[in-house]
Structures are given as structure tokens and as C-alpha cells.
Amino acid sequence: MNNRYKLVGILSLVLLFLTQCYMTYYTYAWKEHDYFAALRPLVGNAYLSSLKGDLIYPGGAEVIHEFSDKHYTKLRDLYHEDTVAFRAYAKRVTDSLFFTLKEESTLDSFMQEIMSENMSDSTAQYRVSVSDFYIKVDGKDIILYSEPDYTQGIRIGGDLEDCNEANRFTTILVDNIDQCSCTVRFSLWVDSPARKQEILKDILPILFLSLFCIGVTVLLFLMTYRNWARQKKLAERKQDFVNSITHELNTPLTTIIVANRNLQNPNIGADIQQVNMLSEIIERNAQWLKSLFTRVLQSEAISSSSLHLRSYSLVQVLEQILKDFELMIHARIQFKLATFGKERTVLLDKFWFTSLIINLIENGIKHNHNELIQIHLIVRFSHESVQLEIKDNGVGMRSEDMDRIFDKFYRRNDAKEGLGLGLFYVKQCVDAHGWTIRVDSQMGEGSRFIISMPLSEERN
């Protein structure tokens, strides 16, 4: 299910990105169309009006007339007599004509004047090409040169290389030029190397807005997905908590019910030893229930309760905790308390601090499979602070567990008991005192919880 949501989200983002790209591309195409639509009538009409009935450039018609007068008769005769010879001669004639048109061209100065009057871009380039040249023989058009692709015609003048339909300003077909009935088709292209940059500059606000929308959408998606994932994990943890607390409560409750049912047996009343044993069972499980409720309540109360802070001898408090704890444990658990430096008093709430230490000790015992369980408490006094280290020889933790052990309801995958509240409660106590805690651990080498606390004078 999680992967499905990711896939749907990623596909939606890709679709949004493609849509924005499509819209940006067509915005550019629309701006490009407007660019040429504004210039085409100005430059194209100026070119046509400046020709004043001439061809290609002023003086071009005279060159074409001269060639048609000189070669028409021979071309007509060869067309009737020898097709192969006609094609070869027509090739030589058109090559010579186009060469002469280029040599005598006045297009550079002619077009420069037109573009400077009608365009603000001084870097604009042009191209004039001939794509068709026909003659009429017996009322029929005979092709001397023809190029269906206008952009591939014979260049007469200009430096523009990228010729296309967008920058083609005009195509002129002139028929019946003279008594030889010549036909010439030529085209004008105009463009600027800076055109794309100018158009991109115009659509830059739209482009930035598009990128901003994509960025905001991606950010919102990530935030939504992160919150959803967080809520999903919280819901799973809460469900795990409910399952765990149900199991934790069910065992002592069942034991109490069974023991109470046995006490109600009339035949057991005379057996004082059996009655005492059942009473102890009930008391022990009732105390366990009380402990469970206390741990759940403490996890909420510590964040809102005011601490009763006083200065205590940290070593004396720890010795008292270990002394009480040793009454409830058996021989395979070993405690050690070591101190370094000159002893100072520490400002703390004794009740919450005691609960904090007990939670860390129980955690070290619970996750420990050694024959001899070792719990070491090390206190290091310095001039400004105290460092308390609680070290065990248990199973240790993975790095991914260390990032989350202080989260509420979090339990390791291999944890078979507990509510996921112990270390959360420890962190709450540390934060409430204004201390810091960190953990160092490796799998199979135990764990070290290190609490740093400032030294303070006694305060009520």
C-alpha cells in the first residue's frame, strides 16, 4: 500500500511536470509566432515595394533578361532535338545565371537599409534564394531549375543559415518576364540570432511561475506524504501499544481471577499455607498492575508536572537506588558504582530522577542474555557539570533503533514485552530537568546511556 501511494504521487508529479513543459513550450511557440507576425508585413512589404517591379534585387531583372534573350533560342531548339543535350545546356545556363546574380548582387546594402528602418535588432540576418526558374516552349513550362524545398534553393545573398517556414517572410513568383516567357520564384528569409533569447526573456516570468508552481506542488506533496507517513506510523504504534497493554494487563488479571476463585473454595480455608500463597499471588499481580498503570500515567504527567527541584548528593541518591533495587533481583545481576572527581551536589527532582534510573537499569536487564548481567554506573564530576553513564553488557542496538528509541510507543522488532514507554519517559525526565542524553551502542556489545547535567547551588 505504501509503495502504491508513492507510485501514484510520483506519476502525478511527472504528469504535472510534463503538463508545465507542454504549456511552456506552446507559450514560447505563441510568442515566436507573434514575433514574426509583427515583422513579416513590415519587412516583407518594404522589400516588395523597394523592388518596384524588379526581380530579387534592384537590377536583377536586367541580368535575367540578358540571359533569357541570349540562350532562349538554343534552349528551345535543343528541347525539340535532344533532351540530354538540353538538360546539360540548361544546367550550364542556370549555373552561369545564378553566379552572375550573386556577383552583381546589391542585396547586402539593399536589405541592410530595409532591416534598419523596420527592425530594432541590429544583429538581424537575411537570405534570398531562388527555388524555380522556368521557360515556356510551345505554351508549356519547361523546368531549367527547380527545388521543391524553398529552404534549399540557390542562395543569391545573405548569411542566414537556419531557414524555415517561421522566418520565411515572403515568396514571389514572377511569370512572363519577357518575350521568352520566363518564370522565376524567389523567397526572402529574415531572422535574428538573439530572437530566442528575446522570446525567452519575455516568457521568463511565466517560466519562473511554472517552476514555482512545480516546486510548491512538490513541497506540498512531500509535506503531505511525510505527515501521512508519520500519522500512519503513530497509528501503528498506538495499535501496537493497545495490543501490548492488552497482553500485559491480561496476564496479571487472569492470575488474580484464578487465585481469587481458588480462595473461594470452601475446602481451602483450612490450609493456611495455601491461603497465604494465593494471597501473595494476588498481591504480587496487583502490584504489577499498579506498576503498569503508573508507567502509562507517568509518560503523560512528566511533560506537564512541575518539578520539585533540590540539590542532592548524586552519589548518595544512586547508592540508595541500587540498595533498594538489589532487594528485588537475584544473584546473576551485578551492579557497580564508580565516581571520578570531586563530588558536588546536583539540582534534581528525586522522585523523577529515581524513576529515570530504574527505567534505564530495567532496560539493561530486560535486553540481556548473558549468564552474568552487569550494570555499571559511572559518575564523572568536573568544574561545571556532571556526567552520569549507565552501561550494560546486553544485546546492544542497531543504528536505526538508536535514532528512534526515545519515540513514544517505539519498540524494537525483537522486543517481546514492554509498552514502548520506558525510554520515552527517560527522555521526558531529562528534558524536564534541562539535561542532555545520548546513547552509544553496538550489536552484541551492550549500550551506554550518558546524561550530562549542570552543577547548581541548592534551591527550594
Question: Cβ distance 137 to 104 under 8 Å?
Answer: no
pLDDT value, residue 298: 59
Give the C-alpha separation, 416 to 192, whole Å: 76
Is 261 in a helix, a strand, or coil? helix
Q: Environment class of residue 137 by beta-carbon count within 10 Å: exposed (0-12), middle (13-18) or buried (19+)? A: middle
DSSP state, 55?
A: B
User: Could you tell me the three cell numbers for 44?
Assistant: 516583407
- What one-letter code names the amino acid at 460? N
CA 459 to chain centre: 51
pLDDT value, residue 16: 82
pLDDT value, residue 417: 53
Give the C-alpha separation, 289 to 252, whole Å: 7
Is 168 in a helix, a strand, or coil? strand
Give the C-alpha separation, 278 to 59, whole Å: 127
Q: Which residues of 141-167 are buried (b: 16+ CB within 10 A; e: fewer)?
A: ebebbeeeebbebbbbbbebeebeeeb
Q: Which residues of 348-371 are buried (b: 16+ CB within 10 A; e: fewer)?
A: bbeebbbbbbebbbebbbbbbeee
pLDDT value, residue 251: 62
User: Could you tell me the three cell numbers for 40?
Assistant: 513579416
pLDDT value, residue 458: 45
Q: Which residues of 188-210 are buried (b: 16+ CB within 10 A; e: fewer)?
A: bbbbbeebeeebeeebeeeeeeb
Q: What is the DSSP string of 333-359?
A: EEEEEEEESS--EEEE-HHHHHHHHHH
- How many Å is the Cα radius of gyration of the chain? 48
User: For cell 517561421, what's the residue?
Assistant: 166
| CB atoms closer than 10 angstroms to residue 126 | 23
Among 360, 372, 283, 284, which residue's Cα sits nearest to residue 322? 360
pLDDT value, residue 84: 92
User: Could you tell me the three cell numbers for 282?
Assistant: 494476588
Segments of the chain scoring below 50 in pLDDT: 303-304, 416, 458-460
Instruction: Give every CB contact of residue 66 below 8 A, 6+ residues apart in sequence.
Output: none
pTM beyond 0.85: no
Q: Environment class of residue 59 by beta-carbon count within 10 Å: exposed (0-12), middle (13-18) or buried (19+)? A: middle
pLDDT value, residue 450: 93
Give the C-alpha separation, 364 to 396, whole Å: 9
Backbone phi, psi, residue 26, to 5°: -75, -25
